[in-house]
DNA sequence: CGTACCGTTGAGCAGGCTCAACCGCTGTGG
DNA sequence: CCACAGCGGTTGAGCCTGCTCAACGGTACG
């Protein structure tokens, strides 16, 4: 799906965000100049699958911007439960910190390419380039909206409904390049369970239920196909 | 708790946020100049309790900054359930929008004073003043962290634990001016239920349980006192 | 070929939800 | 002044769904 471009300009990336205002997609893309500035302060890193990017409570030195691949952010609770805070894909930022420490662990799901931006340099750059900073502000605002959507997702009681909403959200964030109604799920069932606040058995049963109801087919563990879009959409909307 | 100041400078406000980096609280406060700029584009509004500030899907014309009082943001789902997305207090921003429309309803809980900032003017101001914009970026980042904390809260199964975490979070966001271990809860039980994804009966029972276990006393419907801070903290931490 | 990990399926339990009645306060109108 | 309705909150009974524990299956890898 990559466009043809010279090798040295290949690792360009942008930010995925919907504006708070009407806009002609203008806020979604960084200018070439801004990308170059970010590439200058950042370092391109390519990590294999299941690699830790950072750990909770470790010093927060970088913010990461994904160009390709998938990452999960999670926390392990004292009880042993693992809460997945977010799944992140191309054009997403991660590395949320507080008082200089990361708040969660980040781990790649697949082979992932990202830009590693030193936090201090990034802050200086943003303070200097108000326009780019505005795009980052839009991006974080976008993440906040996603977090609220997730709160609505979690408010559902039925496991099948939660899973359906999750698949729907994954479909929505796919690039339009992907085939319609085929959703990639690079994470494990256990990860999904941690994200949906369900036991992994419940996720498994919910998946079975969606198949029995002929709404979704799981072509394999990491790919779902929505085979009855109308009924599926009804279930998703029946919050 | 108000400091003595001239009447026309009384409605100054700031933003409540913890920096992602180490800082000497420097990021938390707007400069006098920045406050003046905001006051110039904004309008001070004082609303009675239970007043709608805006409705879902209505045109998003303003962002609001609370100087005093309490607000809830919520969404009514097709099923009739009401999901409370956030409770907001002094020095908080609200008015999250997408494509020019608000994503939820906002309603005052108590008498509330706020600044109403036209979104276009605010965006222009932020693009012009990178330093102030950075403080807004910190603020939204702060909100994102809060949203993640809430996800952890919701991952708990037991109602008493959820309520305890909620009370703990309310205590944490109280100004240090408030008396220790006395937590104001300006919202109704029903609002809390909507926030915690519980039925309001469960909230009521959870409150009774906290009292029976001698952790908390509810002096009245809107004020809780933590009477056994150590045991309470253990319950909160037992995620 | 054995091990380990991930996922599935089953049985029984527990905790929260629903429905329903009741309490206490408030505001209103006769 | 009192009677009444309405609302928010509490408490109880029974149901339902997701959790826990457990066994089993399939696939990748040494």
Q: How far is the CA of B136 from the C1' of D27 (A)?
A: 50
> Across all residues in chain B, what is the average pLDDT?
87
CA distance, residue A18 to nearest chain B CA (Å):
7
CA distance to A81, A206, A215, per residue, from A163 (Å): 19, 7, 12
Q: A234: nearest CA in chain B? A: B78
* Helix and strand numbers, DSSP H then E, in chain A: 7, 13
Q: Which of the nucleotides lies closest to B188 (Cα–C1')?
A: D8
The 10s digit of each residue's pLDDT in B62-104 is 999 999 999 999 999 988 899 999 999 998 999 989 889 999 9
- Which pLDDT band, with edges at 50, 70 and 90, does A16 fall under? confident
Confidence band for B185, pLDDT divided at 50, 70 and 90? very high
Q: Which of residues 76-95 of A touch B (CB under 8 A)?
A: 77-79, 81, 83, 85-86
**Average pLDDT over every residue of B206-221:** 94
Q: Check CB contact of A59 with chain B, cutoff 8 Å.
A: no
> What is the 8-class DSSP label of residue A179?
P
Instruction: Please check whether strand C approaches the CB of A131 to within 7 Å.
Output: no
- Are A78 and A72 within 8 A, CB to CB? no
Question: In terms of CA atoms, which chain A residue is nearest residue B85?
Answer: A148
Average confidence (pLDDT) over A219-223 = 91
Q: Measured between CB atoms, does B24 come within 8 Å of chain A?
A: no
Average pLDDT over residues B179-194: 92
Given an 8 Å threshold on Cβ–Cβ distance, is B97 in contact with A21? yes
Is the sign of the CA dihedral B142, A14, A162, A145 positive or negative?
positive
**Chain A residue with minimum CA distance to B236:** A78
Q: With residue A45 as reference, give the H or E element that holds it.
A: strand A43-47
| Per-residue pLDDT at B180 | 78
Per-residue model confidence (pLDDT) at position B8: 36
Distance CA A186, CA B1 (A): 52
d(CA B200, C1' C20) / Å? 15
Q: Which of A106, A144, A196 to mutate to test the interface with B (most CBs of B within 10 A)?
A: A144
Tokens read off for A151: 């709160």
> Which residue is closest to B122 within chain A, CA to CA?
A134
The residue among B21 and B146 whose pLDDT is bigger is B146
User: CA nearest B12: which of B41, B26, B32?
Assistant: B32
Which of B119, B130, B238 lies closest to A21 in CB terms? B119
What is the model's pLDDT at position A18?
A: 67
Report pLDDT for A112.
Answer: 93
User: How far is A110 from A69, CA to CA, in rounded Å?
Assistant: 6
Do the Cβ atoms of B151 and A155 come within 8 Å? no
Q: From the list A78, A140, A147, which residue is nearest B237 (CB)?
A: A78
- What are residue A218's DSSP bridge partners? A224
> For testing the chain A interface, which of B26, B74, B93, B144 should be mutated: the one with the most A CBs within 10 Å?
B144
In this structure, of A12-21, B45-54, B142-151, the range with the lowest mean pLDDT score is: A12-21
Nearest to B44 by CA among B98, B74, B87, B7: B7
Starting at the edge strand that comes first in sequence, how are the strands of the sheet with A112-118 ordered?
A: A43-47, A112-118, A62-68, A93-94
Residues 6+ apart with CB under 8 A from B165: B153, B156, B236, B239
A11 class by beta-carbon count within 10 Å (0-12 exposed, 13-18 middle, 19+ buried)? middle
Distance A56 CA to C17 C1' (A): 36
Average pLDDT of chain A to the nearest whole number: 87
Where residue A61 falls among pLDDT bands split at 50, 70, 90?
Answer: very high
Res B18: pLDDT: 64
- Residue A127 DSSP SS3: helix
Give the Cα separation of A30 and A105 in Å (integer): 28
List beta partners, residue A63: A117
**Which percentage of chain B shows pLDDT scores above 90?**
74
Long-range contacts made by residues B124-127, C-beta under 8 angstroms, separation at least 24? B125/B37, B125/B38, B125/B41, B126/A130, B126/A134, B126/A137, B127/A130, B127/A131, B127/A134
pLDDT (mean) for B108-113: 94
More confident position, B189 or A32: B189
**151-210 in chain A: CB under 8 A from chain B:** 151-152, 154-155, 197
Is B98 buried (19+), middle (13-18) or exposed (0-12) by CB count in 10 A? Answer: middle
pLDDT tens digits for range A125-173: 999 999 999 999 999 999 999 999 999 999 998 999 999 999 999 998 8
The string of pLDDT tens digits covering residues B25-63 is 444 578 888 889 999 999 999 999 999 999 999 999 999
Rounded average pLDDT over B184-204: 96
CA–CA separation, A234 and B5 (whole Å): 56
Measured from the Cβ of residue B178, the count of other Cβ atoms closer than 10 Å reads 13
DSSP string, chain B: -PPP--GGGTT--------SS--SSGGGS--HHHHHHHHHHSEEEEE-TT-EEE-TTSB--EEEEEEES-EEEEEE-TTS-EEEEEEE-TT-EE--EETTEESSEEEESS-EEEEEEEHHHHHHHHHH-HHHHHHHHHHHHHHHHHHHHHHHHHT---HHHHHHHHHHHHHHHS-TTSPTTEEE--S-HHHHHHHHTS-HHHHHHHHHHHHHTTSEEEEETTEEEES-HHHHHHHHH--
What token pair was written down for A159? Answer: 């496991």
**Is residue B133 less than 8 Å (CB to CB) from chain A?**
yes
pLDDT at residue number B216: 95
pLDDT of residue A28: 55
């Amino acid at each position: 799906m990559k466009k043809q471009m010279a090798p040295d300009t290949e690792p360009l990336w942008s930010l995925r965000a919907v504006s708070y205002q009407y806009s002609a997609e203008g806020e979604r893309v960084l200018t070439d100049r801004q990308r170059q500035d970010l590439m200058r302060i950042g370092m391109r890193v390519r990590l294999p699958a299941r690699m830790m990017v950072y750990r909770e409570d470790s010093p927060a030195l970088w913010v990461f911007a994904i160009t390709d691949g998938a990452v999960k952010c999670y926390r392990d609770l004292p009880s042993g439960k693992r809460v997945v805070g977010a799944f992140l894909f191309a054009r997403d930022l991660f590395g949320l910190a507080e008082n200089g420490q990361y708040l969660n662990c980040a781990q790649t799901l697949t082979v992932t390419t990202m830009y590693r931006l030193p936090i201090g340099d990034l802050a200086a750059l943003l303070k200097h380039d108000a326009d780019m900073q505005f795009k980052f502000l839009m991006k974080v605002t976008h993440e906040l909206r996603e977090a609220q959507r997730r709160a609505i997702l979690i408010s559902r009681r039925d496991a099948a409904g939660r899973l359906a909403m999750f698949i729907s959200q994954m479909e929505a964030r796919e690039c339009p390049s992907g085939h319609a109604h085929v959703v990639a799920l690079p994470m494990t069932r256990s990860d999904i369970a941690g994200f949906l606040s369900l036991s992994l058995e419940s996720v498994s049963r919910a998946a079975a239920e969606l198949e029995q109801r002929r709404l979704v087919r799981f072509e394999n563990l990491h790919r779902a196909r929505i085979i009855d879009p109308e009924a599926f959409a009804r279930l998703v909307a029946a919050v």
